[in-house]
């Protein structure tokens, strides 16, 4: 990801719906006020859009308490008008990797290995997306108070500052192995433009607290890392385990969890999410196929 600090125009207040892609990328940028968007933790799928070629640090979430309707405070509407959609390129299905390359503007990689019985079912190219997220310190303090976080200061100078997030086209390839499925996402790293002089450590600390990290740990973590080279990956409480892996010589992360029947809560299988990057591109596979086979697919990419 290209993360730059420079002046960003805040001459007008953004209006518009919450964009799930923009909300997700805000986590990668370490923008605490944007981390309050409810869609940040909507699903493991959103993590794919956050990926950049940096170090991974897992942030286990103990519960889904944060970022929900609480104490009569509707966070979705409270924060939603802080996001202005600048560009929404939509998505379109294509028939081949070559057609995807022409539409996306980069070489689209396909795994040389597919597990037995696995077939490619669909290729989708997403268009360009861009959003501006503007801070409102009054609203952020309301959010923190509603979540019971009253021991952290919100910098007054954050008010009115904006971050611009730009996402190049991405390619999503779907695979099926009977009832099991896998989605391979690939694309150039996103670009995040931040205001000059922004204290990323302080804002990152706020974001970590919103995600549920204890106060002492959040402060130490936020001050110890370089927010330009480290990606905190929120691990949902439904995950059974997570660990680092090597994919083609690149350091990545695996998150695993059970697939529960929505009515009986009986385990019906397992899901996994594999994230890595290489040569300025990010990759992710979200799957219900056996993890060992998914890792073989990932390692077979050229």
> What is the 3 state secondary structure string of the chain?
CEEEECCCCCCCCCCCCCCHHHHHHHHHHCCCCHHHCHHHHCCCHHHHCCCCCCEEEEEECCCCCCCCCECCECHHHHHHCCEEEEEECCEEEECCHHHHHHHHCCCCCCCCCCCCCCEEEEEEEECCEEEEEECCHHHHHHHHHHCCCCCCCCCHHHCCCEEEEEECCEEEEEEEECCEEEEEEEEECCEEEECCCCCHHHHHHHHHHHCCCCHHHHHHHHHHCCCCCEEEEEECCCCCEEEEEEECCEEEEEEEEEEECCCCCCEEEEEEEEEEEECCEEEEEEECCCHHHHHHHHHCCC
pLDDT at position 61 is 66
pLDDT at position 10 is 34
pLDDT tens-place string over residues 60-94: 766 544 444 444 455 455 555 677 888 888 899 99
pLDDT at position 202 is 87
pLDDT at position 179 is 93
Does the pLDDT at position 115 exceed 90? yes
Does the pLDDT at position 25 exceed 80? no
How large is the average pLDDT for residues 197-201? 80
pLDDT at position 176 is 97
Please report, for the chain, the start and end positions of each structural domain, with discontinuous segments joined by +: 2-299
Does the pLDDT at position 120 exceed 90? yes
pLDDT tens-place string over residues 202-226: 888 888 887 778 889 889 988 887 7
pLDDT at position 40 is 31
Record the pTM.
0.74
Residue 48's pLDDT band, with cuts at 50, 70 and 90, is very low
More reliable by pLDDT, 237 or 140: 140
Mean pLDDT of the chain: 75
Does the pLDDT at position 181 exceed 90? yes
């Amino acid at each position: 990801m290209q993360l730059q600090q420079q002046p960003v125009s805040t001459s007008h207040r953004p209006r518009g719906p919450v964009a799930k892609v923009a909300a997700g990328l805000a986590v990668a940028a370490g923008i605490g006020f944007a981390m309050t968007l409810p869609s940040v933790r909507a699903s493991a799928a959103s993590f794919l859009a956050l990926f950049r070629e940096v170090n991974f640090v897992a942030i286990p979430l103990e519960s889904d308490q944060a970022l929900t309707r609480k104490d009569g405070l509707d966070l979705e509407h409270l924060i939603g008008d802080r996001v202005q959609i600048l560009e929404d390129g939509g998505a379109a299905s294509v028939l081949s990797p070559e057609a995807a390359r022409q539409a996306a503007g980069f070489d689209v990689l396909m795994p040389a290995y597919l597990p037995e019985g696995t077939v490619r079912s669909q290729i989708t190219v997403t268009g360009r997306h861009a959003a501006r997220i503007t801070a409102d310190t009054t609203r952020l303090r309301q959010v923190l108070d509603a979540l019971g976080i009253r021991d952290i200061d919100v910098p007054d100078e954050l008010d009115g500052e904006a971050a611009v997030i730009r996402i190049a086209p991405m390619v999503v390839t779907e695979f099926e192995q009977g009832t099991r499925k896998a989605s391979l996402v690939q694309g150039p790293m996103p670009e995040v433009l931040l205001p000059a002089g922004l204290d990323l450590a302080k804002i990152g600390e706020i974001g970590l607290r919103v995600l549920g990290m204890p106060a002492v740990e959040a402060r130490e973590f936020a001050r110890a890392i370089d927010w330009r080279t480290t990606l905190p990956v929120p691990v949902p409480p439904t995950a059974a385990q997570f660990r680092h892996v090597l994919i083609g010589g690149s350091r990545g992360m695996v998150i695993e969890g059970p697939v529960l029947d929505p009515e009986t809560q009986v385990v019906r299988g397992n899901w996994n999410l594999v994230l890595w990057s290489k040569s300025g591109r990010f990759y992710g596979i979200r799957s219900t196929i056996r993890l060992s086979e998914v890792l073989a697919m990932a390692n077979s990419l050229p």
